Amino acid sequence: MASACPTIVLVPLCVPGHLPSMFEAGKRLLNSTGGAMSLTVLFTQMTMAANLMSDVDDLIRKESDSGLDIHFHHLPAVQLPTDSPGAENFIMRFIQLHAPHVKAALSSLSSPVAAVVADYFCTTLFDVTRELALPVYAYFSSSASMLALILRLPVLDEEVTGDLVDMEGAVNVPGMPPVPAALLPAPLLTKGPNYEWMVYHGKRLMEAAGIIVYTVAELEPAVLAAIADGLCVPGRRAPTVYTVSPALPVKAAPGDGEQPHECVAWLDAQPPASVVLLCFGSMGGSFPPPQVREIADALERCGHRFLWVFRGPVPAGCGAPYPTDANVDELLPKGFLERTKDRGLVWPKWAPQKDIIAHSAIGGFVTHCGWNSVLESLWHGVPMAPWPLYAEQHLKAFELVSVMGVAVAMEVDRKRGNYVEAAELERAVKSVMGGSEEGQKAREKAAEAQALCRNAVEEGGSSYVSLQKLAREMADRCGAA
């Protein structure tokens, strides 16, 4: 891992919603240093899900040939927690167990450490960086609105004695319209171990040298201004926020003899902006039979072309919530594939969403509102119909519709497991594909957002300037040239 120049150390959470954006931001930060620093990545061993470590291996193979000064280090495996009451509690205990390994890895580096950048789920590791007298920055893979809520949460916790889901009225998230309490992220709805960890994050984030947020400043100006003005934590000022909007390269066109992915090949035969995409992220796409029937009925009735990424159930006892490939003959209503074969494709496996959403045939996107998916959609100017499923996705859906205006509203019954009736999905699909005034406005706003995203990463754009500022700050801290 030796390198002659100072290094920036990334400590990611090795899951699909966090690692890719953090690593891309790290590479862009590295480029912003002009060769004055290297990049070192510390990987936790996510042994409970082999596919996650396979993704890490693929990333390492790809980047080893990039020519960039990047070094990879696998931390020793730990004994997994076995009695955690929820995902947040499991992750926090899992990260805590790595503290001595992170300390040992940082201490053994032959290069001086310019800064440590830790995923915001890794704030327990701030104690390690303090012991080693190293500056630590938090990496926030979600929206600025979610950051504002987490920073505000410790004060909100003192203001509300019971569960937040039962509070009267709306929640004040600085820079946002009043947020209905029912739309808060799942871990915040009821007080307990998972909730307590989120409060903990809100407190620890205030200790960071800065917070790197994977967003576009022009998409969330009011929220970012509220954070900067100290409205989230009265009497205190939050660390400086650095926005690093996405740079989303799409896989190059197939070379001679190489075939495009089957989904992309199917899209090649469709008219421009004629296909609605239904895709629900790495942990989504698997629905109970009644919901599958509602989706199928909606797509059959709506009349639009569609590409539905449909996944099978999560295997029992696997330790990770990732779906399997779907058996469409078993799971779909009888005759559905035959009746829709001329205008629809049901894809039962993992799909290359970046390549699909970039295709000119895509005209709308029914999405779970994972932040990576949202930014991919906006990068290509595709309007959305939000179908939030877990974590903070209900808050993001609210922001996409009520603040950004890039999505059409869809009624999702959270009390019934985020159930959507066929008639409601049919209406939302027709709307997002341009069949209503709301849909037309969402399309216009999505086109404006596309321009904002792309301008942000150009020289002189907000994300470009933010990365340059961050690189200079890190270089100054370690005395790099």
**Which of 101, 119, 157, 394 is labelled catalytic?**
119
Across 100-174, the runs of DSSP E, i.e. the strands, are: 113-119, 136-140, 170-171
Greatest C-alpha distance within the chain: 68
Helix 144-159 vs helix 221-228: angle between axes, to the nearest 10 degrees?
50
Euclidean distance between CA atoms 250 and 378, whole angstroms = 14
Cα dihedral across residues 52, 53, 54, 58: positive or negative: positive
Contact 463, 242 (CB under 8 A): no
74 is catalytic: no
Euclidean distance between CA atoms 100 and 42, whole angstroms = 13
Torsion of CA 71, 77, 82, 87, to 10 degrees: 0
Q: Per 3-state DSSP, what percentage of the chain is helix, strand, and coil (rounded to 5)?
A: 45, 15, 40
18 is catalytic: yes
Euclidean distance between CA atoms 156 and 245, whole angstroms = 29
Contact 278, 309 (CB under 8 A): yes
Pairing assessment for the beta strands 136-140 and 210-213 based on DSSP bridges: parallel
| Closest to 123 in 3D by CA, of 143, 107, 102, 148 | 102
Cα dihedral across residues 81, 85, 91, 97: positive or negative: negative
**Which of 18, 201, 304, 359 is labelled catalytic?**
18
Euclidean distance between CA atoms 468 and 481, whole angstroms = 14
Which tokens belong to 456? 């942000």
| Catalytic center residues | 18, 119
